[in-house]
Amino acid sequence: MICRNITVEGIVQGVGFRPFVYRIAKNHNICGYVRNTGGRVEIVAEGSQGNIKNFLNSLISDKPDVSQIYSIEQEETDIHGYTDFSIIQSSSDRTPNSILVPDIGICNNCTLELADPQNRRYSYPFISCTECGPRYTVTNTLPYDRYNTSMGEFKPCPICDKEYSSPSDRRFHAQTVCCQECGPQLKFTDSNGQLISHRDNAITDCSNAINEGKIQAIKGYGGFHLACDAFNVESVQRLRERIGRPQQPFAIMVKDIGTARELVHINDREEKLLLSSKRPAVILNIKNETCGHDLEEIAPQLHNIGVMLPYSGIQQMLFRNTSSPAYVMTSANVPGLPMVIDDDIAIRELGHIADNYLLHDIRIENRIDDSVIRSFEHDHVFIRRSRGYVPEPIELPFDVRPCVGVGAELSNTLIFASGNKAYISPHIGNTSHFETSKYHAEVFECFSKLTSIEPERWGCDLHPHFSTTIFAKDNGGDAVVPVQHHHAHLVSLMADAGLERDARMIGIALDGVGYGSDGTVWGGEVLETSYTEHIRHAHLKTHAMPGGDLCSYYPERMVLSMLQGLVDHDELLELPFELKHGQKEAEMVLGQLDKRINVIMSSSSGRVLDAAAALLGICRYRSYQGEPSMKLESIARKAKDRSLELPVNIKDNILDTGRLLLELYRHMDEYTVPELAYAYEDAFSRGVAELAIRSANRTGIDIIGLTGGVAYNEHINYRIRDVIEENGLRFVSHSRIPCGDAGISLGQAIVASLHE
């Protein structure tokens, strides 16, 4: 007989880990107990040497699917003489690496029960078990126990209580266990919040309303969605009008994988993603023949669309009686602001958008948007790493001291890291909006509490006017380390790719805008990068941005800027500009450029791609982030003749993007728009790859990495990769962290943590 104290660290809370330990302890005749302590599970096991050994083996090999074990520590202790094995009340002491589990999509067992008229939870939408259901979104504080979640407000009925306390039951110690008798309930209201129906009728009424073409605000575990029939063009248009998103693609939720297959191309890798318990929205290529359904209104001028499968009981039930197998399912928020989570606020702020509300009485503790993954032909990359993934930590290739990265501004996230774990927040949004900057501060508090990390270093952007920079400086004092935007992008990539602490990489960072170390605005950079330093080796030609940020919204301004001096003044003004103030404004922009009034210099690659989209008439006004270059990519895919090769001009390690746009302009009469778009992206990619390869050759560094929002362009991403690999160099790109500014916080935190 021996006794062992065993501590298991990992994703071990809220995934049915203690019931699992209980079961295997019973199987192996082990006495003692299991309990949660902060983020770990502590087991005291007494039994024979052999039984303990088998118990430990089973602990590792039979653990629940969603759990992850990072480490098991054990030590021999004195025999206590336990006579049974039990699960005991969580201790409230906290450990630095508290781990909370992401929400888990509804499991197969619960799906079956939900549809089984004989089951006591038949048609009860809040069905869940130890292996599925809400976690992060309902948890107020660790340890993860019912009384620390918003489910604590619902006292389990005797039957639920029995399931909860029966070790053989699959809801044994399921903190969210509840049923029709004791759990939360649905209600269905009109746009003013006036009750129409509740319980079962609420779902039926809601799906009927969708069938009728109405727009629904549907409360989930982590926030509100706006939903309507994806195949009802008028509904979708009405939603666009009411929410003020004339062009932005909506994600759709489809009834099942079969329906998804009718609409989009799905390979095995993508199917696995769609069906995984994390249930992200996956951006997939639209089939040419989509069974008579037109997806143009949902993803205007794009070749792909975000698709996800139902991940909650409510969603599954909504598809039961519907005439449509696909719903638009988009986060309910004013563009740029955090998603709505409060019933009253939803009714106040979405009243002009939603015709009805489907509400329930679970309080949302933590807001979370759907995760979005862009799938390429061979791999995929996160656009938004949120539900299903957050707050699961990212493992770092080396230990860092406790630190925080506050992020940049658009599509922002923040991060807490310590040791080899980094906890990235859910999508926060555009912190230039005051409400979003407040939410940023709330998420900071929440993650500070959940991770118990007390940062010794604060990483922030170099841009002095970002609200996140100001937040860091106001709160972090001497611990603040401003990190150059593209350095942060690239360090995030190095960590994502698992590069060692002393690694050096030639980094390509392609994005819209980032404040440069020299006070100018960067965005098309080749930096020799380590975890602590960056040296700017090469970049895109610097162009004037007449009117600064105005150029991001009106890419024709960049056409004027890039072609001024290359194309005759009068000839340039003959282009059919669609600026807000028409042709007059085009003249004004040229004057502004001449006189250098409110003109900012930038090597942005986003603006260079935007300019082509504008020149080719693909997108002359940007109504959502990335619109011009996304549409450029989609149209380029239609190129039949791909033989046009635009020349690449590099001088003094600067890629002349002005000449590139000029070449495009010169060929406009001879080729189709898709062919021109394809050729432009191709030449841009070759040029950028060439800059990086020259740097690699010069420095002897043989790894080249690509990051930044432009890396979401599959054609550009793969083209750059091909050229680099053809040259015998190693190419790395993101797999766990977004390439866009949502990935910045990780790089900031690491650079800051390594700063003296």
Partner 1 sequence: MSSKKTITMEHGAGGQFMQELIGGMILKNITQRSAGTVGLDDLDDGSTISLPEELEDGAELVMTTDSHVVDPLFFPGGDIGKLAVCGTVNDLTVMGARPLALTCAIILPEGFELSVFEDIMKSMNLAAEEAGVAIITGDTKTIQGNKLDSMVINTTGVGIAPKVIRDNGLSAGDTIIVTGNLGDHGIALLSHREGFDFETKLVSDVSPVNDLLKGPLSLRTEDNQPVITAMKDPTRGGLASSINEMAQKSGVGIVLEESDIPVDMAVNTACEMLGLNPLEIANEGKAVIGVRPEYAEEVLELLRSHKYGANARIVGKAVSENTGKVLLRTSIGSLRQLGMPVGDPIPRVC
Q: Which does 377 bind (CB under 5 to 8 A by kind): partner 1, Zn ion, Fe ion, none?
A: none
At its nearest, how many Å lie between partner 1 and the CB of residue 736? 21
Q: Which residue bears the tokens 């040296």?
A: 535
# residues contacting partner 1 (CB under 8 A): 51
Q: Which of 4, 35, 36, 374 is catalytic?
A: 36
- Choose, by CB under 8 A, the member of 410, 572, 655, 696 that binds partner 1: 410
Q: How far apart are CA 193 and CA 644, in angstroms?
A: 58
Encoded tokens for 354: 């939603």
- Of the pair 181, 234, the CB lying nearest Zn ion is at 181
At its nearest, how many Å lie between partner 1 and the CB of residue 464? 7
- Choose, by CB under 8 A, the member of 222, 546, 628, 674 that binds partner 1: 546
DSSP 286: B
Question: Which phi and psi angles does 593 have, rounded to 5°?
Answer: -65, -45
* Interface with partner 1 in residues 449-478 (CB under 8 A): 463-467
Encoded tokens for 27: 């199987």
Burial class (CB in 10 A: 0-12, 13-18, 19+), 573: middle
- Of the pair 260, 509, the CB lying nearest Fe ion is at 509
- Choose, by CB under 5 A, the member of 25, 31, 99, 179 that binds Zn ion: 179
* Residues 715 and 639: beta-carbon distance below 8 Å: no
Q: How far apart are CA 307 and CA 738, in angstroms?
A: 18
Q: How far apart are CA 187 and CA 741, in angstroms?
A: 38
- Of the pair 103, 511, the CB lying nearest Fe ion is at 511
Only segment of 101-109, 274-282, 622-630, 663-671 that touches Zn ion (CB under 5 A):
101-109
Which residues contribute to the site for Fe ion (CB under 5 A)?
Answer: 511, 741
Q: Which of 18, 35, 622, 721 is catalytic?
A: 18
Which candidate, 313, 368, 347, places its Cα nearest to that of 138?
A: 368
Q: Which residue bears the tokens 């197969």?
A: 108
Q: Which does 129 bind (CB under 5 to 8 A by kind): Fe ion, partner 1, Zn ion, none?
A: Zn ion
Known active-site residue 18: yes
- Residues 508-525 as b or e (16 or more Cβ within 10 Å = b): bbbbbbbbbbeeebbbbb
Q: How far apart are CA 429 and CA 742, in angstroms?
A: 9
Q: How far apart are CA 673 and CA 515, in angstroms?
A: 33
Q: Which does 374 bind (CB under 5 to 8 A by kind): Fe ion, partner 1, Zn ion, none?
A: none
Distances (CA, A) of 323 to 207, 213, 312, 314, 540: 9, 11, 20, 17, 52
Only segment of 132-140, 186-194, 292-300, 576-584 that touches Zn ion (CB under 5 A):
132-140
Which candidate, 616, 713, 594, 606, places its Cα nearest to that of 663?
A: 616
Instruction: Give the three-state DSSP class for 513.
Output: strand
Q: By CB under 8 A, tell whether 339 contacts partner 1.
A: no
At its nearest, how many Å lie between partner 1 and the CB of residue 496? 20
Where does 239-336 show beta strands of DSSP type E? 252-254, 281-285, 304-308, 326-331
Q: By CB under 5 A, tell whether 309 contacts Zn ion.
A: no
- Choose, by CB under 5 A, the member of 24, 31, 107, 510 that binds Zn ion: 107
Only segment of 249-257, 309-317, 328-336, 359-367 that touches partner 1 (CB under 8 A):
328-336
Cα torsion 562, 566, 569, 570: sign: negative
* Interface with partner 1 in residues 271-300 (CB under 8 A): none
- Residues 530-542 as b or e (16 or more Cβ within 10 Å = b): bbeebebbbbbbb
Q: By CB under 8 A, tell whether 351 contacts partner 1.
A: no
Strands 224-229, 326-331: pairing is antiparallel
Known active-site residue 199: no
Q: How far apart are CA 422 and CA 167, in angstroms?
A: 34
The mark string for 83-122 relative to partner 1 (x by CB under 8 A, - otherwise) is ----------------------------------------
Q: Which does 409 bind (CB under 5 to 8 A by kind): partner 1, Zn ion, Fe ion, none?
A: partner 1
Q: By CB under 8 A, tell whether 591 contacts partner 1.
A: yes
**Which residue, judged by CB position, is nearest to Fe ion in the bound state?**
511
- Choose, by CB under 8 A, the member of 584, 638, 666, 698 that binds partner 1: 584
Helix (H) or strand (E) holding 341: none
Encoded tokens for 142: 């660790």
At its nearest, how many Å lie between Fe ion and the CB of residue 712? 11
- Of the pair 46, 741, the CB lying nearest Fe ion is at 741
Where in the sequence numbering do the catalytic residues fall?
A: 18, 36
Residues in the site for Zn ion, rule: CB under 5 A? 107, 110, 129, 132, 157, 160, 179, 181-182
Residues that bind partner 1 (CB under 8 A): 244, 334-337, 349, 409-411, 432-435, 437, 463-467, 511-513, 515, 521, 545-553, 580-581, 584-585, 588-589, 591-592, 595, 597-598, 600, 602, 606, 625, 709, 740-741
